[in-house]
């Protein structure tokens, strides 16, 4: 029995009180009083001592004597090692303001049930540092103790719940003879003790729900903060804080706090580069900063140079017993064998993010099994979810996966897997792209691919979501000499590319297909892709002079082959380029008219109806609006009389009506301009090109202003700002901005 316990018992008996009576008069539970008298609990905090003194009716001097007894006992206890003490706090802690605010709110939100918070995320995010920071900030709110326990959840043999309970009970000064024999008894004891006290538990590095569940308080004012690489979805009623990497500014602040070289304002660009190469990951940043700080002869640029080598980056992100790769390896070791195969093979994916079908292709598993595998990686913090059913690597984890791939699979297997994945991506891209082609617009008969878009919308969604991946696969196919496959993909994208005319990646796509077609025996195929490359140079890369030169090269080859249709297309693309170049508008009209004659001669009705509006567009720019209206009317007549494929017909109709509406506006016929533009909107929406939609909304906005419907004009101008991005639309956006400012 402790000195304080003996003295408390003497005073209670002298007052003629039972434990239950003292509990009633003081507000301290009878169980707590019993534990204190028998020395099975810690000496009380000041508020508990004051409550006991009041319940005993002690005079001020007697209270002082009792307080002296408590101080003496604490002084003797100070010489003993403390169990479950908090680790040292991080002096240069950076960021996490919103997470700390959420945790503070959660700590205050308990209504009878003790609050529990889970901080989870991939290795190296600083989960432990955040939990310890929170405990330090809340120290005064939890006067009965701050306890920390590393559950070693990533070890080969994590701490058992029984051992964890034993350590916590001992840290809470429950006597060894009173600690229960079974895990259930110990868990009940822990809940009872925490229910009567205000303690904060940091349960670090939890491995599973089963490990941590018996350690959580039930009722009362204690708080448990759990950290884990796993989301621990089986724990109900938990406030989950998913950590992300630091922001670039926070990363730079951390580096400057650690290393003097990084604090030099002249090193700002280098510090930004180091933060980026570390993926804004706190562990990586701390290691990089420490390496810099302990090497005074190094500059930030020296560190950047070392980290820039992707093959050596993880090796350079280690110091002493800390290492990014070592932290990742702990989670990797917990994967199942199929999980390890999936993890390393995902390093093949060219894009930033991916979905279950590509994981299925990489491993040969079903899509459902692949989805389960992706969830396993997410649960262990080795993947991040980037959207519904889409996943991505942190940059450093991708490097780790690449290392595992090189170390665990032979070169032949790696090459075969990469080719299988690339071919699947490109075959699927062809199927999706052909939804937009005249003569296709459907899935191939008997198509049994993992991705089967049911319409243009689904095809577009897949092509956009997987763009980085199929583009990467296209580059790989070009390097591998799969020339016909490269050409087939580019051909399948021909009509789809009109939906995203201003996207610069088409310049690369058609540059690759032009080069591939030149290595194939079919020269007609070659001239087609030279023409496509001209279109991309003019419209996508904004290089009209180059586009005109390429188009005339295509025309030369088409003349050599006697291919009238491709001669017509070459002149059409040359006309587009001249229309966008300086000082060539009249020459562009002449070139377009020559293209029309050749389209007519070749019987290419699709090409014919798409070329006429180009002449009308130039005439509008020259202020010859009535002539432009005649050209558009002629195009609409030809559309009604010629057998034109659906998509080219829609293209010609939308373009002609956009130009016709602009011509009415140029003539000041605002009511006609508004009517024509509003009638054209559904066609433009169906076609899907933002340029046409933006052009029509600009005309609608200007017409409404001119007709005195100023408030109705505002949404149209806002739509222009939303739809038209990039330098190609600078003039239209500026007109919309000026009109909005004047409203």
* The domain over range 97-242 is classified in CATH as 3.20.20.70: no
Order of strands across the sheet that contains 390-392: 353-354, 390-392, 384-387
Higher model confidence: residue 156 or residue 62? 156
Please report which confidence band the pLDDT of residue 75 belongs to, taking 50, 70 and 90 as the band edges.
very low
Tell me the sheet residues that pair with 228.
120
| Per-residue pLDDT, 88 | 83
Give pLDDT tens digits for 368-378: 999 999 999 99
Please report which confidence band the pLDDT of residue 79 belongs to, taking 50, 70 and 90 as the band edges.
very low
Is 7 a residue whose pLDDT tops 80?
no
How many Cα atoms are found within 13 Å in the side-chain-facing hemisphere of 330? 21
CATH number of 3-78: 1.10.260.40
| Per-residue pLDDT, 82 | 67
Q: How far apart are CA 146 and CA 140, in angstroms?
A: 10
Ramachandran angles phi, psi of 95, nearest 5°:
75, -160
Mean pLDDT of the chain: 90
Is 725 a residue whose pLDDT tops 60?
yes
Is 71 a residue whose pLDDT tops 60?
no
Give pLDDT tens digits for 160-170: 999 999 999 98
| Per-residue pLDDT, 634 | 94
Give pLDDT tens digits for 387-399: 889 999 999 999 9
Give pLDDT tens digits for 547-569: 999 999 999 999 999 999 999 99
Q: How far apart are CA 554 and CA 138, in angstroms?
A: 73
Q: What is the mean pLDDT of residues 479-486?
A: 97
Give pLDDT tens digits for 171-187: 888 877 888 889 999 99
Token pair for residue 129? Answer: 């540092």
Q: What is the mean pLDDT of residues 279-296?
A: 93
Measured between alpha carbons, how far is residue 466 from residues 91, 418, 472 in Å? 43, 16, 10
Q: How far does the chain reach from its first CA to its final CA, in angstroms? A: 85
| Per-residue pLDDT, 58 | 78
Q: Which percentage of the chain shows pLDDT scores above 70?
A: 95
Q: Work out whether strand 223-228 and strand 200-204 pair parallel, antiparallel, or are unpaired.
A: parallel
| Per-residue pLDDT, 111 | 59
CATH number of 328-409: 1.10.10.10
Give pLDDT tens digits for 297-352: 999 999 999 999 999 999 999 988 889 999 999 999 999 999 999 999 999 999 99
Q: What is the mean pLDDT of residues 694-713?
A: 94
- From the number of C-beta atoms within 10 Å of its C-beta (0-12, 13-18, 19+), residue 408 rates as middle
| Per-residue pLDDT, 76 | 46
Please report which confidence band the pLDDT of residue 78 belongs to, taking 50, 70 and 90 as the band edges.
very low
Q: How far apart are CA 434 and CA 82, in angstroms?
A: 71
Secondary structure (DSSP) of 41-53:
SPPPPHHHHHHHH
Q: How far apart are CA 115 and CA 684, in angstroms?
A: 55
Residue with tokens 């994967």: 335
What is the dihedral angle through the alpha carbons of 338, 339, 345, 349, rounded to the nearest 10 degrees?
Answer: 130
Please report which confidence band the pLDDT of residue 278 belongs to, taking 50, 70 and 90 as the band edges.
very high
Quote the distance between the C-alpha of residue 451 and its chain's center: 23
CB of 702 within 8 A of CB of 739?
A: yes
Token pair for residue 59? Answer: 């005079």
Q: What is the mean pLDDT of residues 32-55?
A: 73
| Per-residue pLDDT, 438 | 84
Please report which confidence band the pLDDT of residue 64 belongs to, taking 50, 70 and 90 as the band edges.
low
Quote the distance between the C-alpha of residue 558 and its chain's center: 47
Quote the distance between the C-alpha of residue 80 and its chain's center: 49
| Per-residue pLDDT, 647 | 87
CATH number of 604-743: 1.25.40.10
| Per-residue pLDDT, 302 | 93
Total residues belonging to the chain: 743
Range in 57-61, 208-212, 557-561, 664-668 the model is least confident about:
57-61
Please report which confidence band the pLDDT of residue 91 belongs to, taking 50, 70 and 90 as the band edges.
confident
Q: How far apart are CA 396 and CA 284, in angstroms?
A: 9
Measured between alpha carbons, how far is residue 474 from residues 435, 527, 587 in Å? 19, 20, 36
pTM (2 decimals)?
0.80
Q: What is the mean pLDDT of residues 413-428?
A: 97
| Per-residue pLDDT, 42 | 60
> Burial letters for 269-299: b for 16+ Cβ neighbours within 10 Å, e otherwise?
ebbbbbbebbbbbbbbbbbbbebbbeeeebb
Please report which confidence band the pLDDT of residue 23 belongs to, taking 50, 70 and 90 as the band edges.
confident
Higher model confidence: residue 679 or residue 86? 679
């Amino acid at each position: 029995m402790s000195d304080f316990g003996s003295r408390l018992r003497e005073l209670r008996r002298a007052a003629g009180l039972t434990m239950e009576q003292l509990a009633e008069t003081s507000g301290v539970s009878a169980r707590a009083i019993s534990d204190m008298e028998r020395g099975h609990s810690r000496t009380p905090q000041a508020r508990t001592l004051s409550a006991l003194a009041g319940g005993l009716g002690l005079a001020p001097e007697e209270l002082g004597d009792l307080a002296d007894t408590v101080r003496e006992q604490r002084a003797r206890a100070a010489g003993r090692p403390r169990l479950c003490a908090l680790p040292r706090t991080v002096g240069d802690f950076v960021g996490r303001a919103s997470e700390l605010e959420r945790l503070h709110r959660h700590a205050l939100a308990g209504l009878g049930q003790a609050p529990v918070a889970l901080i989870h995320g991939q290795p190296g995010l600083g989960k432990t540092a955040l939990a310890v920071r929170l405990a330090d900030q809340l120290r005064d709110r939890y006067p009965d103790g701050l306890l920390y326990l590393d559950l070693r959840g990533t070890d080969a043999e994590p701490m058992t719940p029984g051992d964890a309970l034993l350590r916590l009970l001992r840290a809470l000064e429950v006597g060894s003879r009173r600690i229960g024999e079974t895990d259930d008894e110990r868990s009940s004891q822990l809940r009872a003790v925490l229910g009567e006290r205000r303690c904060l538990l940091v349960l670090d590095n939890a491995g599973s729900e089963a490990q941590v569940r018996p350690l959580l308080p039930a009722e009362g004012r204690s708080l448990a903060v759990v950290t884990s690489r796993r989301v621990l979805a089986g724990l109900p009623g938990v406030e989950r804080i998913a950590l992300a990497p630091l922001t670039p500014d926070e990363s730079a602040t951390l580096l400057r706090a650690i290393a003097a070289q990084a604090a030099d304002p002249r090193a700002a660009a280098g510090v930004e580069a180091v933060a980026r190469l570390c993926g804004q990951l706190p562990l990586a940043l701390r290691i990089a900063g420490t390496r810099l700080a302990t090497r005074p002869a190094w500059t930030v640029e020296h560190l950047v140079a070392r980290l820039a080598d992707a093959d050596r980056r993880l090796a350079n992100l280690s110091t002493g017993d800390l290492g990014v790769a070592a932290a990742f390896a702990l989670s990797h070791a917990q994967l199942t064998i199929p999980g390890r195969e999936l993890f390393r093979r995902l390093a093949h994916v060219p894009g930033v993010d991916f979905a279950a079908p590509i994981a299925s292709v990489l491993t040969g598993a079903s899509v459902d099994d692949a989805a389960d595998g992706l969830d396993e990686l997410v649960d262990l913090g080795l993947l991040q979810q980037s959207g519904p059913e889409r996943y991505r690597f942190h940059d450093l984890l991708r490097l780790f996966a690449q290392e595992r791939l090189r170390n665990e699979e032979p070169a032949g297997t790696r090459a075969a897997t990469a080719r299988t994945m690339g071919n699947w991506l490109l075959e699927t891209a062809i199927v999706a792209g052909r939804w937009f082609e005249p003569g296709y617009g459907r899935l191939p008969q008997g198509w049994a691919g993992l991705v089967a878009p049911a319409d243009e919308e689904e095809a577009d969604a897949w092509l956009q979501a997987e763009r980085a991946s199929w583009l990467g696969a296209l580059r790989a196919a070009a390097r591998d000499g799969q020339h016909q496959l490269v050409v087939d993909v580019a051909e399948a994208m021909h009509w789809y590319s009109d939906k995203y005319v201003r996207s610069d990646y088409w310049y690369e796509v058609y540059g690759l297909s032009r080069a591939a077609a030149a290595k194939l025996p079919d020269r007609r195929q070659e001239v087609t892709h030279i023409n496509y490359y001209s279109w991309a140079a003019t419209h996508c890369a904004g290089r009209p002079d180059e586009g005109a030169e390429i188009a005339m090269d295509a025309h030369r080859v088409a003349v050599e082959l006697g291919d009238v249709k491709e001669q017509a297309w070459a002149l059409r693309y040359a006309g587009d380029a001249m229309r966008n170049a300086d000082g060539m508008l009249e020459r562009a009209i002449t070139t377009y008219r020559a293209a029309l004659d050749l389209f007519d001669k070749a019987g290419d009705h699709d090409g014919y109806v798409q070329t006429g509006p180009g002449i009308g567009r130039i005439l509008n720019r020259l202020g010859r609006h009535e002539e432009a209206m005649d050209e558009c009317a002629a195009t609409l007549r030809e559309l009604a009389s010629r057998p034109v494929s659906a998509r080219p017909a829609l293209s010609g109709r939308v373009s002609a009506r956009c130009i016709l509406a602009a011509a009415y506006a140029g003539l000041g016929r605002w009511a006609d301009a508004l009517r024509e533009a509003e009638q054209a909107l559904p066609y433009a929406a169906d076609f899907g090109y933002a340029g046409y939609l933006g052009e029509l909304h600009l005309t609608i906005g200007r017409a409404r202003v001119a007709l005195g419907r100023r408030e109705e004009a505002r949404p149209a101008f806002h739509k222009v700002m939303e739809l038209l991005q990039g330098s190609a639309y600078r003039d239209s956006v500026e007109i919309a901005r000026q009109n909005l400012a004047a409203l």
